[in-house]
Structure 1
Amino acid sequence: MLRFAPWKLALIGLICLLGLVFAAPNLLTREEVAELPSWLPNQQINLGLDLRGGSYLLLEVDTDAVVEERLQNLLESARTTLREDRIGYTQLAVEGGQVVIRLRNPEQMQVAFEKLEALAEPVSSSLLGGGASDITVDANEADGVVRIGLTEESIQGRVQRAVGQSIEIVRRRLDETGVVEPTIQRQGADRVLVQLPGIDNPERIKDLLGKTAKMTFHLVRGIVSSEDDRAPPGTMIVPSAYQLDATGQPLRYIVSRKVEVSGENLSNATAGTDQRSGGPAVFFNFDTAGTRKFARVTQDNVGRPFAIILDDEVITAPNIREPILGGSGQISGGFTFQEASDLAVLLRAGALPAPLEVVEERTVGPDLGADAIAAGEFATLIGGVAVIVYMVVMYGLFGVFSALALIVNLILIIGALSLMQATLTLPGIAGILLTIGMAVDSAVLIFERVREEARLGKAPISAMDAGFSRAFGTIMDSQITTLLAMLLLFAFGSGPVRGFSVTISIGIVTSLFTSIWLLRLFMVTWLRSRRPTALPV
């Protein structure tokens, strides 16, 4: 235990040096860090919302829209199925959270029932993906009405998937805007918490997150007046986002309900300038499947208008002049260059499965964060000084060694947080303070073991060797159990709890290094150089 191989000495020195190098940029301003050579470490600790200031948004997923979309898909599937089997009906609509179908001939009820039951999709209930049907089909032969509804398991499953997809897409959109270290996490069954450090005016972010960005391509059947709300079967009326009719109202298109190509098939979207008009435009490319679909529909419908619909509005509806086989196109309209750039961001990130509504918004000023940082620094300083004084008073020279190890421990924690680009919050500062006490616990345990061995009359070298050997197992047991608890907090916690667990986990690892290797190196170096007859402990 008291011998250090050359490679161990080199490793200890290297770890301490790296910790100092990665911690050093935190002593500089962001402007000074930006001027450092690229080959030097230039990462700084990211401050959380409570320290840096910024915006807090609580978003709610529109669960009704999730259910409505599935019902509309069932309606269209039912219409196609009944037509293929020549089953007549006098009513086909979504009413009261169900698809209601009134058959023209009740004698076809059994056939219709079997065909409509085949529209069910399994509800995933296990890791293997199997599950029960997601719909219920009720038939009333007396009045010839079939009702298709969604099961509770189906609704819950779709909402959970929608929230999970929303979190991922929100993260992509924020990454595109350059927001540094946003916090995005689920809260409750249908809400998403977004924290934006350093953003004090989140209006543009709210606009980006508030748009579903669901883009689809439909064939245009015609234009309808603002007074007419009737759409032929299989079509829908969609207003234009930029075009107005003679009365000054948005132009209204009659488009096919069938989605010819979906925005899910987009592979890229960039903002640029339209070469013909000189105005802003968004250029897009499809993936292989989208290219194939786009080529087929443009080949079969040359001369017809083709509507690009974004969030239930027609962005543009140009005529198909010739087949487009390359899988690329452009969107131009009445938007500005900033709007074109935002639209490209939305399309690259993907469409939200359901609209998001801001239900709570708060702004944290930087002054509050500065006060919290100052208070945290003061508390860390006072706590560190108090611990050092106590250790020096109780253990003399060995207490000085533990103080040096504690200082290195703090440097390693700061360096690790910088390297990992972890976000430091108020609970994280509390974790660092607690780490100081935990690091000293190991030193106290070692010193007490060494003191016990010395009192038994052992020589200094034997007492120190036995003390370290006996303390090693206890230190490892206590630190590993605490580390496991912190890992569980990180896995199942959120926000501040995770920040606390990260700093504690890093502190445990660095404390093991400083107490088992670095502190022992200090004590062994002193012992071999001075060769005392008694230990100062």
Structure 2
Amino acid sequence: MMWNKVLILALIVVVVGLATAAALAPAWQQNPYLGKYLPLAKDIILGLDLQGGVHVVVEAQDTPESRVTPDKMQQLRAVIERRVNQFGVAEPVIQQQGDRRLIVEIAGISNPEEAVRSMVKTAYLEFKTEDGKTVVTGADLKDAMESKDPTSGQVKVDLTFTAAGARKFAEATAANVGKHIAILLDGQVLQNPVVQEAIPNGKAQITGYQSLEEAHNIAILLRSGALPVKVEIAEKRAIGPALGADSLDKSKHAGLVGVVAILVFMLMYYRLPGLVADFALLIYTLIVLVIYVGMHVTMTLPGIAAFLLSLGIAVDANVIIFERLKEELATGKSLRSAIDAGFKRAFTAIFDSNATTFIAAIVLYFFGTGPIRGFAVTLGIGIVASMFTAISVTRWLLHLVAASGLVKNAKAYGA
């Protein structure tokens, strides 16, 4: 018996067990030190259908300066989508209703009232001279970032102009040394500083904010651009999750029962390889969970369906491999040779089936919208992870078990 292999196996079991507890066990939330970080599953972002949110109907209004047109509605949708996304909201639902309305549904925001106010704020930025001439506008803005001076503690928004905007600003400041140039947002004066000297570097600052959060919200508005038309809130209401708490709990229990049934079937039918496959599926789940958290994937009902589908694909890959393994053992090959031959024979079928499903996920992502794209992303992640665990992890674990000498009877491998 190769004791070093046995020790490696034991170490792997312990590490994966601890990782599973760290990622999934809810008891970690009670820990005053680690509860902020663990369990990892609590960091998965839930979509509107799982946690509810805010439903807002925005209606565009005609003004003497700007009338509502199809082009203006497209611009309005783009600006609102940029604003909502920069508030950290994942997969918002934004769709046009009729000629003048946009329906916006936002999930899981900490301050819905502030988000709605920021969403419909015009955010028209102007720099005006003492004689009322507008020299630079938000259209000349390249970037806006909030910051805090480490020495004075002053909160400010740093503005960077485009090349054309920098030229305008340089000319305006050079021509108005010793005079005021006011900074206005939606017609309200934010600052009215005196120009000390020409500013040729295309940078400016807005100060006077009470908090970094306030400056952050203004920076978001300036980066996303001004609304092309005036808008009003036609409707605003809180919405509950499409799947109630009771139904969600029942779905979790049903999913758990299904997963346990799969694990038991693999163990009973394929014996030792089935046990290895169950362990590999646990590793697969951890890999997918880490990817979800790292990529800030939003979990929705379609996303859950995609995860379960990808789990089935992972099981199917193991079934193909183990059937080939049984066939190779039946021909009288040694255990290690049978493992290599079984994986080699199964690879083509596994790769082809996963490749076609992955192509379908790509098509859904590029041609779908909203929840369909979320389904495609979740499915694609699951396919890649299942291929890795089935072809690499399961094979490595089987070789490790075989090399350890813990089980030498070919019948334990399904022969």
- Normalising by structure 2, report the TM-score: 0.71
- The Cα offsets for residues 103-128 of structure 1, whole Å up to 9 and x where unpaired, read as xxxxxxxxxxxxxxxxxxxxxxxxxx
Matched with 2:414 is 536
* Residue aligned with 1:407, SS: helix
Deviation (angstroms), 1:48 = 2.4
The Cα of 1:213 is off from its aligned counterpart by: 0.5
1:328-370: CA deviation from partner (whole Å, max 9, x where unpaired): 57688xx988997477335543532424554554424479665
What letter is aligned with 1:315?
Answer: V
Question: Structure 2 unaligned runs (5+)?
Answer: 149-153
Deviation (angstroms), 1:441: 1.0
Q: State whether structure 2 residue 108 is matched by structure 1 residue 197.
A: yes
Aligned counterpart, 2:22: 24
Q: Which residue of 2 aligns with 1:381?
A: 256
Residues of 1 paired with 2:241 and 2:409: CA distance?
Answer: 55
Counterpart AA for 2:274: G
Q: CA RMSD in A?
A: 4.7
Amino acid aligned to 2:378: T
In structure 1, what is the equivalent of residue 228 of structure 2?
Answer: 354
State the Cα distance separating 1:195 from its structure 2 match. 2.1
The verdict on how the C-alpha distance between 1:33 and 1:494 changes in structure 2, with shifts beyond 3 A counting, is farther
More helix by share: 2
CA gap 1:520/1:28 in 2 versus in 1, 3 angstroms: same
Per the TM alignment, residue 501 of structure 1 is displaced from its structure 2 partner at its CA by 2.1
Structure 2 CA distance, aligned partners of 1:297 and 1:286? 15
> Does residue 315 of the first structure (1) align with residue 313 of the second (2)?
no
Q: CA deviation at 1:371?
A: 4.1
* Residue 210 in structure 1 maps to residue 120 in structure 2: yes
Structure 2 residue aligned with 1:404, among 260, 268, 279? Answer: 279
User: Structure 1 pair 371/503, CA: closer, same or farther in 2 (3 Å)?
Assistant: farther
Aligned to 1:439: 314
Residue 344 of structure 1 pairs with residue 218 of structure 2: yes
CA distance in 2, matches of 1:281, 1:514: 49
Residues 144, 219 of structure 2: 8 Å contact kept: no
Report the CA distance between 1:384 and its aligned residue: 0.8
How many residue pairs end up in the alignment? Answer: 387
Higher strand share: 1
Q: Which has the larger radius of gyration?
A: 1
Contact kept? 2:23, 2:286, Cα under 8 Å = no
Equivalent positions of 1:276-287 (< 5 A) are 287=161
Name the SS for the 1:260 alignment partner: strand
Map 1:7-22; keep pairs closer than 5 Å: 21=19
**Structure 2 residue matching 1:471: 3-state secondary structure:** helix
The verdict on how the C-alpha distance between 1:23 and 1:490 changes in structure 2, with shifts beyond 3 A counting, is: farther
State the alpha-carbon separation in 1 of the partners of residues 197 and 79 from structure 2.
Answer: 31
Q: Name stretches of at least 5 consecutive residues in structure 1 with no aligned partner.
A: 1-5, 72-96, 98-154, 222-254, 273-279
SS at match of 1:217: strand
Partner of 2:151: none
Moved more, 358-367 or 426-435: 358-367
Q: Secondary structure at the match of 1:183?
A: coil
Q: Match for residue 90 of structure 2?
A: 182
| Alignment counterpart, residue 171 of structure 1, candidates 76, 85, 101 | 85
The Cα of 1:260 is off from its aligned counterpart by 2.0
Contact 1:409 1:510 in 2 (8 A): yes
Instruction: Give the counterpart letter for 1:24 in structure 2.
Output: A
Matches within 5 A, 1:222-301: 259-266=134-141, 268=144, 287=161, 290=165, 293-294=168-169, 296-297=171-172
CA distance change for structure 1 residues 512 and 346 in 2, over 3 Å: closer, same or farther? Answer: closer
The aligned amino acid for 2:51 is R
Alpha-carbon distance, 1:299 to partner: 6.0
Q: Distance in 2 between matches of 1:157 and 1:379?
A: 48
Change (3 A) 1:32 1:486: farther
Report deviation, 1:523.
3.5
Deviates more, 1:208-217 or 1:426-435: 426-435
Q: Distance in 1 between matches of 2:45 and 2:391?
A: 30
Instruction: Give SS of 1:459's match.
Output: coil
**2:270 matched residue in structure 1:** 395
Cα deviations by residue, 1:263-288 (Å, 9 ceiling, x for unpaired): 3445557699xxxxxxx997765647
User: Secondary structure, in 3 states, of the residue corresponding to 1:213?
Assistant: coil
Partner of residue 276, structure 1: none
User: Separation in 1 of the partners of 2:325 and 2:156?
Assistant: 73
Report the Cα distance in structure 1 between the residues aligned to 2:213 and 2:292, rounded to whole angstroms.
37
1:472 counterpart = 2:347: yes
